[in-house]
A and B are shown apart, each in its own frame.
Chain A
Amino acid sequence: MSILVIAEHDNAELKGATLYTIAAAKAIGGDIHVLVAGAGCGTVGEAAAKAEGVAKVLVADNAAYEHQLAENVAKLVADLGKDYSHILAPATTTGKNMLPRAAALLDVQPISDIIAVESADTFKRPIYAGNVIATVQSSDAIKVISVRTTGFDPVTAEGGSAAIEACDIADDAGVSSFVGEELAKSDRPELTSAKVVISGGRGMQNGENFEMLYKVADKLGAAVGASRAAVDAGFVPNDMQVGQTGKIVAPDLYIAVGISGAIQHLAGMKDSKVIVAINKDEEAPIFSVADYGLVADLFEAVPELETKL
């Protein structure tokens, strides 16, 4: 049994999500091969070869894969994947975009967002915004799976010495092209991998007030998130959104400020180790999941929190 893991990267560095996905592959058991598809992605291949538990790294270095357009990469994954029992990718926007397309090319029903491996064909995944956990068994010959990173502990990034093999397939489906990209800049840790996350909701009232959260975040080395209400109100960009339709986080400490705690938001953070809620409405549903709740006006509590840290 061998497993193909699709690496998440930006052509320059291997993203942490890959290490969590390799951990899921280890839980299934078997030879683990990592596919790095990109352009000028040699350093990513070298980084992947050092990851714990990896037996082989396949590097598909071609202009067709530069922006990892789903149409091109899915074809590559389906071609290579025929020889594997499992194909895994992290459940990031890149993985979710590409993987189902590859699965359909292989005529298999993929399994999204697994949080646990029960056996080589049985997995646990949340449905209905995380209100229900389903155990599903696949009867397909090739299991195509996306991995929710917060469900696994990452493998170490150093110490391995896998063989690196160039892969000379180059498919350009010719139906799509990359036009441009607009990435939000941030010096703080990435939301999905931060140990501490502090999030603001509609209660923040405007974008300027998020400055208070940034100050606390900088003292804690935390990432800053937001609820959908804060994003829709235009306080902050949407890549900060935590929830069913945004990012799923599971930090050691999650501080929810001015967030009521709708089902949609809870789906994105209720696996956090410790949850703190600061809200002036003591009936807010967020208090039902919070380990520590403070009923207070956030405009007094947050600056005070900052000075006391």
Chain B
Amino acid sequence: MKVLVAVKRVVDYNVKVRPKADGSDVDTANVKMSINPFCEIAVEEAVRLKEKGVVSEIVAVSMGPKQCQEQIRTALALGADRGILVETDAELQPLAVAKCLKAIVDKEEPQMVILGKQSIDGDNNQTGQMLGALTGMGQGTFASEVAVDGDSVKVTREIDGGLQTVELKLPAIVTTDLRLNEPRYASLPNIMKAKKKPLDTTTPDELGVDIAPRTKTLKVEPPAERQAGVKVADVAELVEKLKNEAKVI
């Protein structure tokens, strides 16, 4: 079966971002960019399913500016077969991304779409679920285990308080949680080979999708700073301060 994997270009998770001085946006100039960690897990899961013989083709798709090609090439180096870039310099909100993905799903007809559970920049946790609504497919969100069985897939989900297993009819959508797998590193020969794999480019216009943003960011600001704390010398002083100064115990 064919699998579609969505990958997003985001500010590297090790970078501590700051708002611009005028509060208009986050300062992302000259900041290291990477593939979103949850998307990496999604690619890895697709590749593992291919290695098990369940999957025959993996298509990696990303949307955004031209530079998103780098993240698609990373996915190709990890084992995806070909890439699709939906190129636009406009701001893309999850609803617009879900609509673009829906258009690609209609064209490619994958049996499974794997996405990360959230991107570490917007922290929205929406795109997979919204694609589920637009395509009518079942959704296995926050997956920590995925088992394909004939024309259905069993997904173990991480929920508050433990784990839940659901069974979905294929085609279905899976969003990955951290514990689904440990992504591999791309080897140098695979990075070289990835340069030769096909990468098609399209645009939201060509897909017939209206990407106009529905929400507007009025301001970004740093969170309230915490007051500098004190170091205590020993446990006795700690307990004394918690009881008498902070009055929390």
Contact = CB atoms under 8 A, between A and B. Distances in A.
Interface string A52-96: 000000000000000101110010000000000000000011101
Given A104-B133, A184-B162, A244-B123, A136 B26 contact: no
Nearest to A291: B229
A308 B154 contact: no
B160 A287 contact: no
A131 B222 contact: yes
B93 interface: yes
B169 to A, nearest CB: 5
Interface stretch (A22-30, A38-46, A152-160, A292-300): A292-300
A287 B226 contact: no
A294 B235 CA distance: 8
Secondary structure type dominating chain A contacts: mixed
B221 A291 contact: no
A104 B223 contact: no
B248 A137 contact: no
Contact of B232 (A179, A192, A263, A294): A294
B69 interface: no
A166 B195 CA distance: 59
Contacts of B138: 71, 173, 175-176
A220 interface: yes
B240 to A, nearest CB: 9
A289 interface: yes
A175 B130 contact: no
B62 interface: no
A120 to B, nearest CB: 14
Contact of A270 (B144, B177, B226): B226
B248 A309 contact: no
B235 A308 contact: yes
Q: Which 7 A-B pairs have the closest CB atoms?
A: A104-B133, A109-B214, A104-B130, A175-B138, A100-B129, A100-B126, A183-B162
Given A97-B157, A237-B162, A305-B239, 5 more contacts: A92-B160, A110-B126, A238-B144, A289-B226, A304-B235
8 contacts: A97-B139, A100-B94, A100-B124, A127-B26, A132-B18, A173-B136, A253-B242, A309-B239
Interface of B: 11, 13, 16-19, 26, 93-95, 98, 117-118, 120-127, 129-134, 136-139, 141-142, 144, 154, 157-169, 172, 177-179, 213-223, 226-227, 229-232, 234-236, 238-239, 241-242, 246, 248-249
